[in-house]
Structure 1
Amino acid sequence: MIDYLQSKEQEMLFMLERLVNKDSGSHYKKGVDTVGKILSNEYKLLNFKVDIVEQTDVGNHLLIRHKDATSPKIVILGHLDTVFKEGTVKERPFKIRGSRAYGPGVIDMKGSHVTLLYALKALIESGCEEAYKNVHIIYNSDEEIGSTTSHVLIENIALGKQYALIMEPARPDGSFVSARRGGGHYDLKIYGKAAHAGIAPEDGISAIEEISHKIIKLQKLNRIQEGINVNVGIVKGGESANVICPYAEAVIDIRIDKLEQGLTIDQEIREICKKADVPGAIIELEGGINRSPMVKNEGTVKLLKMIQEVCEELGLQITDVSTGGNSDASFTSNVGVPTIDGLGPIGGNAHSEDEYLEIPSLVERTLLLSKIIKRLSECENKS
């Protein structure tokens, strides 16, 4: 398979450029669906069946498996959306500089789309039917905004699977991800009443004053040593310096180490936001804990061992790490499926203008992924 993939490197880069040069921010449904159609057509050429799960406000989700697959035991997750707004590609399209490729979403995770597609092509080329018929791929469209419309779908498809491979990018040193923190997202909106700050301040209700009380109380929920992090990361409000603020809003990010911490912190946040500190202010809270922690349990350790054996066969020494970032790995882990994340290519600076992919890793990680799928399929057939 190495000769096949090396001969396809330029083709893989062309596919990467094609995908990167399509805006596909989470809230840009048309763009996300365009990326989905490109990938759907590619898989159909390989005799894979693509089921479309229609969505109204976000892009459609895709469920992909070979037309002759019966009961695949490997679920593979990827996401079609990026964090970049419509028009970003026009400002900074795909480019190659030295040994790196740049562009919006190039490493998170359009490089992974190429890796997965060509890993399956390599398995087909090698005639390894038990491997390419043993995968069930889920491409969701809202991972970057919490997988609110897709997490139940992911959990339902994952149930009964033996392994979950998550196509988030590798760490910059190539490491896999064997554990992730859980977390949540809340939108806090405060409605007050506008009034002239000089003429009739007594007629106003300050949304900024109210949200200030809430921010102080929310930040005090931090228990870093216990693994609970609360961050009010965005605050907006106010119309003018001489107007009592009628509306303010805040975005709250939560990170947890243990599942039970999510229940506790959710109750505490809702208790804080249940009652206004400023008389007359109206509080609206949306959101919740949307990802449980991905735990490095016994099943994950066994899966990691098998994967690292494949690495050694290829002459690779790849470690595993725990990270505070969220991914859909939490959902497969939550339903008891041994899960390894970070199986995409190597790169860095995701979600930024300097996001990049290390081009030499494209073929290397594609070969590795194909060998992992093959190994896990052989293990499944022998069990």
Structure 2
Amino acid sequence: MEEYIKQKEIDMLKLLETLVNIDSGSNYKQGVDAVGHIITKLFSEIGFNMQKIENKEYGNHYVLTHHRCDQPEIIILAHLDTVFPMGTALDRPFSIIDGRAYGPGVADMKGSLVTLYFAMKALQRNHGNELSNVKIILNSDEEIGSPTSRELIEKESKNARYSLVMEPARKDGSIVSSRRGKGNYTLTIEGKAAHSGIEPEKGRSAIEELAHKIIQFYQLSDPEHGISVNVGVIEGGTSPNTIPDHAEATIDIRVKDASQAEELEEKMEEIVSSTEVKGTSIVFEGEMNRPPMEKTKKTQSLIRVIQEIGDKIGVEIVDTATGGGSDASFTAALGIATVDGLGPIGGNAHSDKEYIEIDSLVERTHLLAMIIKQLTLKKVKE
């Protein structure tokens, strides 16, 4: 199987170039659907059935199962969208420099879509039963928190035993065993406008109140224990000589485990329960949109299986924790053994220097195929 995958490296690069050169930012439905059309057509050619979930606002989602699918234990999560706006692919198309492939979304996660497809193709050529043990979910809004696909992922994953998530491997080749949970919140302050020179005493500054709250929110951060609070965007005011009657902030929080999320939300609610500037009012909205992906005993067992496979094929596997979010959090929260970072090795995601290591396309395709094969053998033996 490894030799077959090696022979397909040029085909992998051709497909990768095609995908990277299609703009598919989360809010550009036409481009996301174009990527989805290419990928699902390829899967249909190797015996996969497609369930398309139409989406008016974002790209369509897809559930792929082989025509011989029988109570699959393995759920595979991958996404079709990127963070880049329309025009990026034209300005910065696919390129290869010194053994690395560059371009918008090349690592996150168009390279992973390529390795996923060719792993399935290699397994199909091998005439095993592995494809009957796999269900693939391709969603189109992962980069904006999966607002329309979370329910789909949770529904389709509920009977799975293993979850393999196709975010790229870290720069050093590590796979991901845990992620911090993520929440997004909006804090809106309403005050009273007045002329700052003629009658400032009649005003109630929304910005002043917001400033108090920002300081209090930052004091909730506890990096030592994996808790961070960041006020990323603030807006307010109309002119320098007007007491501002409106101000708003967006807040990002990260936590290591579910108990921290509950405690942190309670503290934030306490902060916004009263005002420092008399005459102002507060509206606080938001939620945890990704639970923490915790490294459970089930996940540790799955990692050991992957490491054993890595030893057999000559790939050293190390796992790591990361603060970024992914759909892995959803399956992990369901109690499913979940491992992320199973795509090719890459770095600088979401930037104009995003890349993948070309050599890792073959390596990680082979690794993924062998993981699926081994997990299916376990199912048969049990």
**Normalised by the size of structure 2, how large is the TM-score?**
0.94
In structure 1, the residue matched to 2:376 is 377
- 1:192-214 CA-to-partner distances (Å, cap 9, x unmatched) read 44444334434544332121111
| 1:256 CA displacement | 1.1
Q: CA deviation at 1:56?
A: 3.0
User: How is 1:1-80 mapped onto 2 (pairs within 5 angstroms)?
Assistant: 1-80=1-80
Q: Deviations over 1:173-199 (max 9, x none)?
A: 111111222221112233444444334
Query: Cα distance, 1:93 vs. partner?
Result: 1.7
CA distance in 1, matches of 2:126, 2:144: 38
1:168 corresponding residue in structure 2:
167
What's the counterpart of residue 181 of structure 1? Answer: 180
Cα deviation, residue 240, structure 1? 2.9
Corresponding residue number in structure 2 for 1:85: 85
- Which deviations, in whole Å up to 9, do the C-alpha atoms of 1:35-89 show, x marking residues without a partner? 2222122212222111122223222221111122121110001112212222222
Q: How far, CA to CA, are the matches of 2:209 and 2:90 in structure 1? A: 41
Q: What is aligned with 2:354? A: 355
Residues 1:270 and 2:249 aligned together: no
Q: Secondary structure at the match of 1:381?
A: helix
In the alignment, what sits opposite 1:328? Answer: 327
User: Matches of 1:237 and 1:360 in 2, distance apart?
Assistant: 49
Q: Is the 8 A contact 1:257 1:293 kept in 2?
A: yes
**Which structure 2 residues correspond to residues 117-266 of structure 1 after superposition, within 5 A?**
117-128=117-128, 130-266=129-265
Q: Residue 364 of structure 1: CA displacement?
A: 1.0
Tell me which amino acid in the other structure corresponds to 1:300.
Answer: T
Deviations 1:299-350 (A, max 9, x none): 1111111111111111111211122222111111111111111100001001
Amino acid at match of 1:201: P
Query: Which letter maps to 1:179?
Result: S
Mapped contact 1:108–1:168 kept (Cα < 8 A): yes
CA-atom RMSD in angstroms:
1.8
SS at match of 1:69: coil
**Letter matched to residue 273 of structure 1:** V
SS in 2 for 1:104: coil
Counterpart in the other structure of 1:94: 94
Q: Which runs of 5+ in 2 are unaligned?
A: none
The worse-fitting range, judged by mean Cα deviation, of 198-207 and 107-116 is: 198-207
* 1:79-128 superposed Cα distances (whole Å, 9 cap, x missing partner): 12212222222221221112111111110111100010110011111112
Identity %: 52
SS class of match (1:343): coil
Residue pair 2:17, 2:94 contacting (<8 A) in 1 also: yes
SS in 1 for 2:244: coil
What is the CA deviation profile of residues 264-294 of structure 1, one whole-angstrom value per residue up to 9, with x for unaligned ones?
Answer: 1112222322444334434333321122222
Displacement after TM superposition at 1:241 (Å): 2.2
Further displaced range: 285-294 or 313-322: 285-294
